[in-house]
Amino acid sequence: MLATLVAIALVVQDQAPLRAAPQDSAPRQATLWQGEWLEVRGEKQGFIQVYDHGRERPGYVREHQVRIYRLDEASVPKLQAVVEFLKDTPGAEALGIGYAAALLRAAPASQVGPELFDALGTLADRLARRATSNRTNDVALAAHLDVAASYGVKLVSFEREGRTRVCYDGEAFRRVLALGGSPEARLRAALSLTRPECIDPALNPVARQALDEWRGSVLEQVDGGRLPAYLANRLHLRRAEVYAALSFQLSRRGEAQRGAKASARAVEELARVLKAELTEEDKPAYSMAAVRVGASRHASEPMPEKPGSGPVLELAQGQPGETCLRLVDAKDPKAPLSERCTYGLVWPGSVRRSAQGSAVAVAVQMLEGWTELWVFHQEGGAWVLDALAPAATEPVLGYVELAGFSPDGSRVLVAREALVDGKVKSSFQVLKRETLLPEKSAGSPDALGSFQRWSSSDWRGRTVAVR
């Protein structure tokens, strides 16, 4: 249908009326929204006679409410200029998409480059963001979404954290990556395609892993070296996030080596972020990425040497997907001191023992971004196991890690980081070994003298909590 159109009228105003006759008093046939296309059939008394193929009805619109273009090569520069202008104009997403569609139709194939798809993707992405933000006064939003959908721009919606999130499916961005484009455009495309909040929460773990592997490959297509530092930071943060997730998924499926590699890569990507160049809006993302990396960084930790005597932690396979921890005395390995099975991922490289042998701690990753610290400790001669959770919230994102033991073994130092009420909260605590209740707590390790004195160099060398 569109190919047969010679000239089109692009509606540029919201709520423009389509009249039955070329008079302002004529009945309104339909309400047009910006970005819609109409076929031009003539002109009468200051009105443009048009046919609306979407609604299948003819009518008249005021001349100033539309712009008329011929769909041939002569219109390409004009359309290009408008698309370029609308690309960064908030609120004009539907209009921009309409112009981009007209440009795609008018331009010969040789002139359609990644820039046009970048503009289209940016517009669609912004429209999705606009639909997600819960502004109640945006009356044109629904109509603009319809206009975008009529051009084949697909927006999908998910329910996340009690609200609906609208996301662009990224078709145009895929084309940008396929066609080339500037490093900035490629970065925009990759970041939009790999947005974590646009992942369907109902995905099963296998599909999720496949998706994360694809996200990793998409991010690898962007050359970070040619980007300005603040944009490169975004790339590194997203990569760190994706590799941290992959590390857990791969380790969970038994591919320990690949998991370790992914974990090391995640830590490396986080380390590449230049803190001085972080923009204000990237700081929360930086904290979140750090928590994710912190939660899965144990995957790349080397196995510690086995101690000669004292309690030793042994790992064994339980039910499918279950790991059983068995604390035994090195001298008498047959009688376990304590035993417990878990569906979490136990990181053998994270096992640490206090100098006196009175406490053994190990990191257990329950979820992709949730790592607990399990502490076996002596209480009245018997060994008990206490699981330290990152925070007293729903397990979503957080980790708690062992920072060391006090020289007499009576205190345990832990670093906790978790997402609480949408913000990353860090705390460095000194716990009593018997009860594992916090004795002292501070927002930074410098604020606690004892923490500074007793924290192990091993922890200081590897942690991402101090950044």
Binding site for another protein (CB under 8 A): 204-207, 252-253, 320-322, 342-344, 366-367, 370, 372, 387-389, 391-395, 437-438
Q: Which is nearer to another protein, 356 or 393 (CB)?
A: 393
Report how far Cα 66 is from the mean position of its chain's Cα atoms: 39
- Cα angle for residues 165, 171, 173 (degrees, 5° grid): 95
Asked whether the beta carbons of 12 and 95 are under 8 A apart, the reply is yes
Q: Which is nearer to another protein, 201 or 228 (CB)?
A: 201
Nearest distance from residue 243's CB to another protein, in Å? 19
Nearest distance from residue 301's CB to another protein, in Å? 20
- Cα angle for residues 161, 372, 381 (degrees, 5° grid): 145
Q: Which is nearer to another protein, 395 or 409 (CB)?
A: 395
* Backbone φ, ψ for residue 432 (5° rounding): -80, 140
The alpha carbon torsion through 255, 258, 264, 268 (nearest 10 deg) reads -140
How far, in Å, CA of 386 to CA of 394, rounded? 18
Nearest distance from residue 431's CB to another protein, in Å? 11
Nearest distance from residue 367's CB to another protein, in Å? 6
Q: Which is nearer to another protein, 141 or 291 (CB)?
A: 291
**Radius of gyration for the chain, computed over Cα atoms and rounded to the nearest angstrom:** 29
Q: Which is nearer to another protein, 100 or 199 (CB)?
A: 199
Nearest distance from residue 463's CB to another protein, in Å? 21
Nearest distance from residue 248's CB to another protein, in Å? 10
Q: Write the CA distances from 42 to 23, 59, 105, integer angstroms.
A: 15, 11, 22
Nearest distance from residue 256's CB to another protein, in Å? 16
- Enumerate residues 6+ apart whose C-beta is below 8 A from 405: 352, 354, 355, 359, 411, 412, 413, 433, 454, 456
Asked whether the beta carbons of 373 and 388 are under 8 A apart, the reply is yes
Q: Which is nearer to another protein, 76 or 391 (CB)?
A: 391
Q: Which is nearer to another protein, 93 or 368 (CB)?
A: 368
